[in-house]
């Protein structure tokens, strides 16, 4: 590849009550970099970039964009040229149009997800050794995105063959059709995962913790503050990725994963691990089942060109079906 995508970088979510969102994310241990009446910029204790999560006050909750960092301006230009050559429309964001963000562009990816690539972001003081600030789950850094898409195999093939991602693990069913895939650019299990479902939708954003006890302590803090109903699934350990996990729903229903314990994938001869679709240990290594909401509910996404909600492909097909009146 003639361009270098480094890692998952940030997500931009719309929320309906910024103050309620701030209380929730504060309970998890996020650092507030900057805030206004309409925006809240958050980061983990380890992060030296301005933010990894931007919350915008809007009328309805939705995903505005998920972002990946590239290495240089030249990488950004070559990536944009490659995507345009493949028939995509690129929406450039001039430096200064997005707070703290350098030169960047957005487009709607092959699955209909709103995706952004950027080169640089303003740097701030890393809080890693300011232990007096550690609270809640002591969130360290952004780790990955998980997205529901209508055709996982299509997303898997394009991201690997055209964008240079690698697959760490995948789930396959009959005729070896890929049902879910974990893809990475940094040397961990994933920067993005694609799971089968009505899409495009954002399933969750994963944030890295230092250790499993940070996750347990985060549960205790959340419960003590009245957020027990926001704990959707876990704690537990995934078979896929080997990670220790907890899934939460923020006040607007956006799903956040607290995440620890995956493994190194930086060797070029590392082979993807295949899981059978009917293997119960792939989702939860300890055996307990996920709730129905984990499979059925996800965050809708915006169109980067029109700023309107993107309908899932399944909803569009349903509208096209003829109605017979007898």
The whole model's pTM is what?
Answer: 0.95
Q: Which pLDDT score, from 0 to 100, does residue 24 have? A: 98
Q: How confident is the model at residue 326 (pLDDT cuts 50, 70, 90)?
A: very low
pLDDT at site 246: 96
* Share above pLDDT 90 across residues of the chain, in percent, rounded to a whole number: 84
Q: Name which of 5-14, 15-24, 317-326 the model is least confident about.
A: 317-326
C-alpha separations of 78 from 1, 9, 71, 90, 304 in Å: 10, 19, 11, 12, 20
The pLDDT confidence band at residue 197, using thresholds 50, 70 and 90, is very high
pLDDT (tens digit, 9 = 90+) per residue, 290-305? 889 989 999 999 999 9
- Whether the predicted pLDDT of 324 surpasses 50: no
CB atoms near residue 274 (< 10 Å): 14
Question: What mean pLDDT is predicted for residues 197-206?
Answer: 97
Residue 321 burial by Cβ neighbours in a 10 Å radius (0-12, 13-18, 19+): exposed
Query: Which residue would you say has higher pLDDT here, 287 or 276?
Result: 276
Q: What pLDDT was estimated at residue 175? A: 79
Return the number of other C-beta atoms located less than 10 Å from residue 63's C-beta: 25
Please state at what angle helix 212-224 crosses helix 18-28, rounded to 10 degrees. Answer: 140
Domain at 5-118, CATH homologous superfamily: 2,3-Dihydroxybiphenyl 1,2-Dioxygenase, domain 1 (3.10.180.10)
Q: What is the CATH number of domain 134-296?
A: 3.10.180.10
Give the tens place of pLDDT for each residue, 15-42: 999 999 999 999 999 999 999 999 999 9
Question: Does this chain's domain 5-118 share its CATH topology with 134-296?
Answer: yes
Domain boundaries of the chain, sorted by first residue:
5-118, 134-296
* 281 has a pLDDT exceeding 80: no
> Is residue 245 pLDDT above 90, yes or no?
yes
Alpha-carbon distance of 75 to 37, in angstroms, equals 35
- Residue 280's pLDDT is 77
Range of weakest confidence among 36-40, 176-180, 225-229 = 176-180
CB atoms within 10 A of CB 100: 18
In 10 A of CB 32, how many CB atoms? Answer: 13
Instruction: Give per-residue pLDDT as tens, 119-172.
Output: 999 999 999 999 999 999 999 999 999 999 999 999 999 999 999 999 999 999
- The pLDDT assigned to 287 comes to 76
pLDDT at residue number 320: 63
pLDDT in tens, 82-128: 999 999 999 999 877 889 999 999 999 999 999 999 999 999 999 99
Tell me: pLDDT of 256 over 60.
yes
Question: What's the chain's average pLDDT?
Answer: 94
């Amino acid at each position: 590849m003639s361009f270098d995508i480094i890692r998952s970088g940030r997500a931009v979510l719309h929320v309906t009550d910024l103050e309620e969102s701030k209380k929730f994310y504060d309970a998890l241990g996020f650092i507030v970099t900057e805030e206004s009446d309409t925006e809240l910029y958050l980061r983990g204790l380890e992060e030296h970039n301005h933010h990894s999560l931007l919350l915008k006050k809007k009328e309805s909750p939705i995903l505005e964009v998920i972002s990946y960092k590239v290495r240089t301006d030249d990488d950004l230009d070559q990536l944009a040229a490659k995507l345009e050559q493949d028939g995509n429309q690129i929406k450039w964001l001039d430096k200064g149009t997005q707070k703290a963000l350098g030169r960047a562009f957005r487009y709607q990816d092959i699955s209909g997800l709103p995706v952004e690539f950027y080169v640089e972001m303003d740097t701030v003081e890393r809080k890693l050794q300011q232990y007096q600030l550690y609270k809640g789950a002591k969130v360290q850094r952004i780790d990955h995105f998980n997205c529901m898409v209508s055709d996982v195999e299509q997303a898997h093939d394009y991201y690997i063959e055209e964008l240079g991602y690698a697959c760490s693990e995948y789930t396959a069913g009959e005729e070896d059709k890929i049902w879910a895939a974990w893809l990475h650019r940094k040397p961990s299990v994933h920067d993005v995962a694609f799971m089968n479902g009505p899409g495009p939708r954002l399933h969750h954003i994963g944030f890295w913790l230092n250790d499993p006890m940070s996750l347990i302590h985060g549960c205790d803090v959340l419960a003590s503050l009245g957020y027990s109903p926001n704990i959707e699934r876990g704690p537990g350990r995934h078979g896929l990725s080997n990670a220790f996990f907890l899934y939460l729903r923020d006040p607007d229903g956006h799903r956040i994963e607290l995440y620890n314990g995956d493994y190194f994938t930086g060797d070029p001869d590392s082979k993807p691990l295949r899981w059978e679709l009917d293997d119960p240990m792939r989702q939860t290594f300890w055996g307990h089942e996920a709730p129905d909401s984990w499979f059925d509910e996800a965050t809708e996404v915006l169109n980067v060109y029109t700023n309107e909600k993107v309908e899932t492909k399944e909803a569009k097909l349903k509208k096209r079906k003829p109605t017979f009146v007898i």
